[in-house]
Amino acid sequence: MMARIHSAAELEEVRKGILSKKDLNKPCVAICGGIGCLGGRESLIRAFEEEVEKQSLESKVDVRVTGCHGFCAQGPNLVIYPEEICYVKVRPEDASEIVSQTLIRKKVVDRLVYTDPNTGQKAVYQSEIPFYNKQTRHLLGKNPKIDPRSIDDYLAIGGYSSLAKALLQMSPEQVLEEVKKANL
């Protein structure tokens, strides 16, 4: 159980402690956990976990379910970090190829990347997909990096820092003014 946090400085120390234990370069298969990707998601997760184990990569690769990636029409989808390779319409039977080709050999599985229906252009990285590259993702942008079951994931990206500021550094009037300015 985590100790009670009493200040913004303590919250920052907790965040730094979590980050110090994370290998930010460790490959991670981030499987969308949103409602649009729900169909077949459990078997997809199981397939990746089994394939990672079969290849003896448990200590070298993370497999996690994350919040919604926002690209529901192309689900189930996943992103491989740190490269941010995005695969769409992924099926459990694709897990073996993705692990062997992308995670081990560092090669892209061409048939699983997004293809723009208007131009035929393939987009390997999430940032190349027109759906994403025209957005500033304030709310959902970090979802692919957060396992919704892990408070450490949320704290690692700075979660609760605004709450700490509101509770510890602002007056009630200042909080209300921020809410008004945000039109909430």
Local structure of residue 26 (DSSP, 8 states): S
**Domain limits for position 120:** 22-158
- pLDDT for 136: 75
The least confident of 31-45, 61-75, 139-153 is: 139-153
The answer to whether position 168 is within a domain reads: no
The answer to whether position 63 is within a domain reads: yes
Instruction: Look at the pTM and tell me if it is higher than 0.75.
Output: yes
Residue 99 in contact with residue 107, Cβ under 8 Å?
Answer: no
SS3 of the chain: helix, strand, coil, percent, to 5? 45, 10, 40
Local structure of residue 72 (DSSP, 8 states): G
The answer to whether position 178 is within a domain reads: no
- pLDDT for 108: 98
Rg (CA), the chain: 19
The answer to whether position 184 is within a domain reads: no
* Helix locations, 28-83, DSSP H: 41-54
- pLDDT for 138: 64
The CATH number of whichever domain residue 100 belongs to comes to 3.40.30.10
Half-sphere exposure in the Cβ direction for 113 (13 Å, CA): 20
Residue 103: is it exposed, middle or buried by C-beta count within 10 angstroms (0-12/13-18/19+)?
A: buried
The answer to whether position 134 is within a domain reads: yes
The answer to whether position 108 is within a domain reads: yes
- pLDDT classification of 173: cutoffs 50, 70, 90: very high
Residue 153 in contact with residue 14, Cβ under 8 Å?
Answer: no
- What angle do the packed helices 8-21 and 161-168 form, to 10 degrees? 160
Q: How many domains does the chain have?
A: 1
The answer to whether position 179 is within a domain reads: no
The answer to whether position 2 is within a domain reads: no
CA distance 169 to 180: 18
CA distance 17 to 172: 31
Residue 95 in contact with residue 81, Cβ under 8 Å?
Answer: no
